[in-house]
Amino acid sequence: MKIIMDAMGGDHAPDAIVRGALQAAKEYPVEIVLVGRGADLLASIKSQGYDTLPAGVQILNAEDIVDMHADPTQVVSQHRNSSMVMGLKMLTEGADAFISAGNTGALLTAATLVVKRIRGIRRAALAPILPSEQGGIVLLDAGANAECTPEFLLQFACMGAFYAKQALGKANPRVALLNNGTEPEKGGELQKAAYPLLQKAGEDGLIHFVGNIEARDVPLGGADVIVADGFSGNVLLKTMEGTAIFMSHMLKKDVFKRSLLSMLGARLCMKGIKKLSKTMDYRETGGSVIVGISKPVIKAHGSSDALAIRNAIRQAIAAVESGFCEEIRANVSNMSLPKERAAHAE
């Protein structure tokens, strides 16, 4: 299996990318190609104690970099020799998956133009895995499409269900529509129009639709797949991230360090605290799969360190082995509306 890494994307590139890739190369039977400025990558590898390229790691030189200020619509035309675009082209030429911690908008656009969407899929979606009491849950869309149609949400629901089933091992994933209430008639025009489409998909056996879900029930494990437009999904994602950071800071500052007794209590329950922290740590997941693209493309967090990159590679391996892209491709005709219904729904 060949995994392509954009070694110049992210806040801590290339060193964090290189360290994570070297760790993954030791653990997994996979070939990793680091795409970026060759001299910088060799220097970073040497700083890790290697005089030559370690087994399972290759370098493809790419002198250009897509930074966080790049115009997503111009990336493919103006940055053809960048680590991002050259890496995506390698994906189309026979590699198995691509990972980048770089510019999200640029990655989404470049993946759509270079690797292409699965035929019949109207929009690709960001699908991060969120923690909950019932294990990992898939959220989509988490920011790729601020404005959506009901058919987009139908396709997100189906793609999310296939991903949760194939890659996360959830036998019959529960799919819910993010809304401001659980009643079927709740929500804006988009949610009201999408609800019957998801309901019918559930009746047809394409997904296991459990209705609407409020944001407060997401971390409680009310569903395995959360469907939302990109704006609402991104708000939910960032709120959960911020809440986790807030709770961590409050526990450290105002609970466990309040007195000698509370500090002793912290030491006694440290094992549980570390387990909880690990559950809430985005680095443990690796990144967000961009579902709907014809091959696995993963967006790692912009501030990814070596641990996050190593886990993104693990996630990419699991995505490839799951065959979820093939599952979506095989069922795409069932998740598209006839033109008359699509026009009415929009």
- Model confidence pLDDT, tens digit, residues 95-151: 999 999 999 999 999 999 999 999 999 999 999 998 887 778 999 999 999 999 999
Residue 341 has pLDDT above 60, yes or no: no
Strand blocks (E) in 297-341: 297-300
Cα 45-50-51 angle, rounded to 5 deg = 105
Q: Are strands 31-36 and 57-61 parallel, antiparallel or unpaired?
A: parallel
Residue appearing with tokens 């499409």: 145
pLDDT digits (tens, 9 = 90+) for 130-146: 888 777 899 999 999 99
What are the sequence ranges of the domains in the chain?
1-115, 125-287+327-346
Q: How many Cβ atoms from other residues are within 10 Å of residue 72's Cβ?
A: 16
Pick the CATH number of 125-287+327-346 from 3.40.50.1970, 3.90.960.10, 3.40.718.10, 3.40.50.720: 3.40.718.10
Q: What is the DSSP string of 236-256?
A: HHHHHHHHHHHHHHHIIIIIT
Give yes or no on whether 1-115 and 125-287+327-346 have one common fold. yes
Cα gap 255→262, rounded to integer Å: 7
pLDDT digits (tens, 9 = 90+) for 41-69: 999 999 988 988 998 999 999 999 999 88
Whole-angstrom distance, CA of residue 266 vs CA of residue 257: 9
- Please state whether 169 falls in left (phi above 0), alpha (psi between -120 and 50) or beta: left
Q: Containing H/E element for 220? A: none
Q: What is the band of 343 on the pLDDT scale with cuts at 50, 70, 90?
A: very low
Q: With a threshold of 0.85, does the pTM exceed it? A: yes
Yes or no: say if 300 and 286 are a contact pair by the CB < 8 Å rule: yes
For 282, the token pair is 């985005």
148 phi and psi angles, rounded to 5 deg: -130, 160
Superfamily of domain 1-115: Isopropylmalate Dehydrogenase (3.40.718.10)
User: pLDDT tens, 152-206?
Assistant: 999 999 999 999 998 888 899 999 999 999 998 889 999 999 999 999 999 999 9
Task: Give the up-direction half-sphere exposure of residue 337: CA atoms within 13 A in the CB hemisphere.
Answer: 22
Rounded-to-integer distance, Cα 137 and Cα 314, Å: 17
CA 121 centroid distance within chain: 18
Residue 90, Cβ neighbours under 10 Å: how many? 17
Residue 344: band (very low, low, confident or very high) from pLDDT cuts 50, 70, 90: very low
Q: Identify the DSSP state of 114.
A: I
Give the span between the Cα atoms of 95 and 91, in whole angstroms: 5
Give the residue, 216 or 341, on which the prediction is more confident: 216
